[in-house]
Structures are given as structure tokens and as C-alpha cells.
């Protein structure tokens, strides 16, 4: 704990890390708790502001600073401290909205939901976390945690409907839900274990959780259950990546901007009439990740291919030829007709050109109907990608259908020429 005057004089000594800060009065009672991605910058901003910040300074003598390893941990710690101390400048809201809480609802397969303070209705075994000051930060946090803990957030009605139809939702395809609604995908025991681990994290007991996972990974490895051990290892890596998340989030779209999408497909039959197609879709990406736009048909391209012998090598050949055209505009997103193999094939070519771009596969069933997206293995480089795919899935399916039509049209044209030579 420091005297406020000392902090102002020695502001450069404040760490440039995520964390929380607590303004305290003469009796050392908290009057305001805040969180920051960068503690030094946030406090400088406070010192420059008037209004509410001026009132906080007037009532404060001391300042506490608690650094955290990630912005997510700062968010959880801030909520915990506000709940415990109820500082006067935190409990007064500027508008008629009440604070947001994250509630773990007790159920056979527990689920999470956001609840406003004024609507907070907890049953005996429900758990609540909050109050959270910034709804947007909380929602971004929850999106990130879903990638690690894969919990459900659907209400009982939607859960029962999915169970009856025996069809998981899009979140399962995106790797953001373990789909406990579908029998056989995850047991009740394993699902509840995931929820217990999530609760540990939400209680800011990350160190305990990491130690627990490390022990589990060791036991599984000793028992030669390597697949399960790898799942735990990946969770540990994901937790480690949370430290960097607040820096990466600068790449999340904050305002409307122009977006360019390129969509690829190839076609061949027994190694003949080998061809490929690229279509382009341009539009506006809104602040909530919704795309609206139109086809840029003057930029569509057909490729007569010769080197590749199968679909993957043909795809690699086409993408290589496409990116040799440095004069063509670089896309913001690539969609490909296919799954994980097609995504990896494109990424290998991009590496040769020192390009780092998000690639999403449109995976189809035997009837050639789109069933799920295939995300890139390095998807954490683009924290907004899951949300982008979810909100624009129908558009992406439409784009994939269109490139397939364009590709097949050129393929048939090539084949016809060969037959009538």
C-alpha cells in the first residue's frame, strides 16, 4: 500500500502489466476498485481525468496495486474485490443497468449464463461470480474460457431439443462445447469434472488448477493413456496463452472496417481436367463481427492446374500461383472447401510467402452439405475468429457453395474441351 501522493510522483515505477488498483480513504477502506490491461497507463489516465476520478482522488489517501498475469485474472480479481468491499464509487452505476454476474446453474450437466444483478435469482446449489463492471470484457473472457473448458451455456429448453434431435449445435463443431446433450460424446462424470476445473479458475485459483492438471497429465502418461494426456497438455498451453491475450486483443475489430474474403476450391477426375477456382467477397465488418457485402466478380480467377496429382497437391499448386501475384490484394480471411487437411495445405503455402492469415475449412458430409467449420490449429492468433465464424456461418456456407459452382463450371469446361479435341 502506498500514499497516493507518492504514486503520482513516481508513476514510472508502476508496472506496465495487467492488474487491479484500489483507492483507499484515510481509514484505508476501499472507495474504488478498478482493473487495467496496463496499470501504469490506466492510472495516468485516472490522474488526468476530472469528474468521477476527481471525486475518487478527493476521498483517497492510499493506493493499492495488485499485478496479475493476464487481463482475465484482473477481471476476476476486480469482481471479487468489489463483491467483498462494495466500494462506494463502484456500486453507483451511471445508467439504469445493474452489474453483470456470471452464474453456474446447478443441473445434471451444469451450464453458465449471464444475469443482471436486478434479475439475480440463485437456487441453493447455483454459484455466482461478480459483480462485473464491464460487460464486454466479461463476454470476451467467457468466449476464451469456452475454448479451454468446453462448457454449455444453453438453457434447458434448447438442451432438451438438441438431445431429442440428436444433433449438437455449432459450438460443438467450433470446439467450444463438449455437447453433453448428445449421449456418448461426454459422460456426466467427465463433464462435471470440467465444470469443477472451470470453477477453480473463476475463483482465481489458477495455480492450484495448473498443479492439478500437471499431476493428472503425469498419471495419464504413466498409464500410457497418451491421448488423454495430450488433451490436458493442450489445456495447460491454453492457460499459458491467456497471459498474452490482452496484447493480442488489439487485433479484434473495434470499429467498422472493410474485409476481403477469398474462397478456394479445386476439381479433377482421375487426374484429368485438373482445375481450381478462387472467388472474392468484399464487405464491411461491423463492430459485433457481422459481415455484409457483395461478390467482387472482376477479381474471380480460374486456374488450369498441372503439377498436382490429388486434391491436396492441386490446392497447394493453386494457392502458390495465387500468392505469386503480389499485385493482388491480400485477403483478411481465407475459406476453403474441405477440412483439416485442406486448411493445413494452404497454411504450408502461406508460410513459404511469410504470410500469417486465418484459414477456415467448410467441412461437408457425403451429400456435400456443409456440417461444420474446421478451424486452424493456430486459431489463438485470432481471438475473434470463433465469433466471426459463428455469426457469419450461413454466409460462409453460401460462399463455399458459390466457389464450388464456379470451380465445377470450369472443370466441366476443361473436360469438354479434352473430350472433343
pLDDT at position 91, please?
A: 75
- Alpha carbon 59 to its chain centroid, in Å, reads 40
Run of H or E residues at 183: none
Q: What is the pLDDT of residues 348-378, one digit of tens each?
A: 999 888 788 899 999 988 888 888 899 888 7
Query: Structural domain tally of the chain?
Result: 4
**Does residue 387 share a domain with residue 240?**
no
Per the prediction, the chain carries an average pLDDT of: 84
Last residue within a domain, chosen from 70, 91, 112: 91
Q: Helices (H) and strands (E) in the chain — how many of each?
A: 16, 14
Give pLDDT, residue 97.
58
Please give the pLDDT value at position 248: 39
pLDDT at 148 over 70: yes
The CA distance from 183 to 144, in Å, is: 26
At residue 364's C-alpha, the angle toward residues 359 and 368, to 5°, is: 130
245 is in which domain, residue-wise?
A: 205-249
> Does the structure show a pLDDT above 50 at 78?
yes
Nearest to 281 by CA among 300, 260, 298: 260
What span, in angstroms and rounded, lies between the C-alpha atoms of 214 and 209?
9
Burial 211-248 (b: 16+ CB within 10 A, else e): eebeebbeebeeeeeeeebeebbebbeebebbbebbee
Grid cell of 400 as nine digits: 463455399
Looking at residue 252, what is its pLDDT? Answer: 39
209-265 residue pLDDT tens? 999 999 999 999 989 888 889 889 988 988 887 765 544 343 334 445 778 999 999
Identify whether residues 271 and 415 lie together within a single domain: yes
The beta strands (E) that lie in 83-204 are given as 100-105, 111-116, 127-132
Residues 217 and 191 in one domain: no
Q: What integer pLDDT is reported at residue 249 of this predicted model?
A: 44
pLDDT tens digits, one per residue of 312-334: 888 999 999 998 887 788 899 99
Query: Could you give the CA distance from residue 227 to residue 204 in angstroms, rounded to a whole number?
Result: 28
382 and 353 part of one domain: yes
Residue 81 vs residues 62, 85, 146, 230: alpha-carbon distances, Å: 16, 6, 24, 36
CATH code of the domain covering residue 75? 3.40.1440.10
* pLDDT at residue number 273: 61
Query: Where in 117-177 does DSSP place strands (E)?
Result: 127-132
- The answer to whether the beta carbons of residues 117 and 111 sit under 8 Å apart is no
Q: What percent of the chain has pLDDT over 90?
A: 36
Q: What is the pLDDT of residue 269?
A: 67
Q: What is the mean pLDDT of residues 59-72?
A: 89
What's the full length of the chain, in residues? Answer: 421
The last residue of one of the domains, among 141, 176, 203, is 203
More confident residue, 324 or 381: 324
**What is the rounded distance in angstroms from the CA atom of residue 291 to the CA atom of residue 390?**
11
Same domain flag for 220 and 342: no
Residue 171 and residue 320 share a domain? no
Residue 266 has pLDDT above 50, yes or no: yes
Listed residues 30, 59, 91: the one ending a domain = 91
Clarify whether residues 153 and 229 are in a common domain. no
Q: What phi and psi values does residue 396 have, to the nearest 5 degrees?
A: -65, -40
pLDDT at position 417 is 61
Is the same domain home to 98 and 81? no
Q: What is the CATH number of the domain that holds 339?
A: 3.30.420.340
At 394 the pLDDT is 93
pLDDT of residue 92: 61
**Cα–Cα separations (whole angstroms), residue 183 to 104, 110, 406:** 22, 16, 40
Whether 103 and 115 have beta carbons less than 8 Å apart is answered as yes
* CA distance readout (Å), 383 to 37, 112, 124, 273: 16, 20, 35, 40
Residue 312 buriedness (CB in 10 A; 0-12 / 13-18 / 19+): middle
Task: Give yes or no for residue 40 having a pLDDT over 80.
Answer: yes
| C-alpha span between 209 and 197 (Å, rounded) | 7
- Judged against a pLDDT cut of 70, whether residue 415 lies above it is answered with no
Report yes or no: 259 and 366 within 8 Å, Cβ to Cβ. Answer: no
Give the containing element (helix H, strand E) for 322. helix 311-323
Instruction: Using the CB atoms, write b or e for 115-127: b if 16+ within 10 Å.
Output: beeeebeeeeebb
pLDDT band at 168 (very low <50, low <70, confident <90, very high): confident
pTM of the model: 0.59
Residue 82 and residue 29 share a domain:
yes
84 with 98, same domain? no
Q: What is the pLDDT of residue 107?
A: 94
Mean pLDDT is lowest, of 93-107, 154-168, 190-204, for 93-107
Residues 6+ apart with CB under 8 A from 130: 79, 83, 99, 100, 101, 102, 117
Confidence of residue 407 (pLDDT cuts 50, 70, 90): confident
Rounded average pLDDT over 264-269 = 82
% of the chain residues with pLDDT over 70: 90
Does 12 share its domain with 83?
Answer: yes
Does one domain contain both 397 and 278?
yes
Residue 263: its pLDDT value, please? 95
Taking only the tens place, the pLDDT of each residue in 270-317 is: 556 678 899 999 888 887 788 988 898 888 998 887 776 788 888 999
pLDDT (tens digit per residue) in 127-137: 999 888 877 77
Amino acid at each position: 500500500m502506498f500514499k497516493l501522493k507518492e504514486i503520482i510522483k513516481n508513476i514510472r515505477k508502476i508496472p506496465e502489466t495487467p492488474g487491479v488498483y484500489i483507492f483507499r480513504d484515510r481509514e484505508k477502506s476501499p472507495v474504488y476498485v478498478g482493473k487495467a490491461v496496463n496499470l501504469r497507463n490506466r492510472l495516468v489516465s485516472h490522474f488526468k481525468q476530472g469528474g468521477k476520478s476527481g471525486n475518487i482522488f478527493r476521498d483517497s489517501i492510499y493506493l493499492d496495486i495488485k499485478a496479475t498475469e493476464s487481463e482475465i485474472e484482473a477481471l476476476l480479481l476486480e469482481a471479487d474485490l468489489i463483491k467483498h468491499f462494495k466500494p462506494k464509487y463502484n456500486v453507483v452505476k451511471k445508467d439504469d443497468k445493474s452489474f453483470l454476474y456470471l452464474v453456474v446453474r446447478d443441473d445434471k450437466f451444469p451450464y453458465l449464463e449471464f444475469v443482471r444483478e436486478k434479475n439475480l435469482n440463485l437456487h441453493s446449489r447455483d454459484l455466482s461470480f461478480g459483480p462485473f463492471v464491464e460487460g464486454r470484457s466479461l463476454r470476451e473472457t467467457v468466449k476464451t474460457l469456452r475454448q479451454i473448458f468446453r462448457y454449455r451455456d444453453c438453457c434447458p429448453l434448447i438442451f432438451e431439443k438438441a438431445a431429442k434431435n440428436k444433433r449438437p449445435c455449432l459450438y460443438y463443431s467450433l470446439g467450444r462445447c463438449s455437447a453433453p446433450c448428445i449421449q456418448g460424446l461426454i459422460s456426466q462424470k467427465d463433464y462435471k469434472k470440467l465444470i469443477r476445473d472451470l470453477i477453480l479458475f473463476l475463483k482465481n485459483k489458477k495455480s492450484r488448477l495448473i498443479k492439478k492438471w500437471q499431476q493428472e497429465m503425469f498419471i495419464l502418461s504413466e498409464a500410457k493413456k497418451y491421448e488423454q494426456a495430450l488433451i490436458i497438455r493442450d489445456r495447460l498451453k491454453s492457460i499459458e496463452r491467456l497471459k498474452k491475450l490482452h496484447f493480442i486483443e488489439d487485433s479484434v475489430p473495434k470499429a467498422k472496417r472493410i474485409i476481403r474474403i477469398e474462397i478456394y476450391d479445386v476439381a479433377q477426375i482421375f487426374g484429368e481436367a485438373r482445375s481450381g477456382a478462387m472467388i472474392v467477397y468484399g464487405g464491411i465488418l461491423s463492430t459485433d463481427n457481422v459481415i455484409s457485402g457483395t461478390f467482387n466478380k472482376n477479381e474471380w480467377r480460374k486456374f488450369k492446374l498441372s503439377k498436382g496429382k490429388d486434391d491436396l497437391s492441386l490446392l497447394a499448386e493453386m494457392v502458390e500461383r495465387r500468392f505469386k501475384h503480389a499485385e493482388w490484394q491480400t485477403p483478411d480471411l481465407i475459406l476453403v472447401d474441405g477440412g483439416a487437411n485442406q486448411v493445413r495445405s494452404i497454411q504450408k503455402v502461406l508460410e513459404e510467402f511469410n504470410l500469417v492469415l486465418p484459414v477456415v475449412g467448410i467441412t461437408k458430409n457425403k451429400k456435400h452439405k456443409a456440417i461444420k467449420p474446421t478451424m486452424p490449429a493456430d486459431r489463438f492468433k485470432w481471438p475473434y475468429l470463433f465469433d466471426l465464424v459463428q455469426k457469419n456461418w450461413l454466409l460462409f456456407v453460401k460462399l463455399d457453395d458459390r466457389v464450388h459452382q464456379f470451380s465445377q463450371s470450369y472443370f466441366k469446361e476443361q473436360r469438354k474441351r479434352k473430350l472433343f479435341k
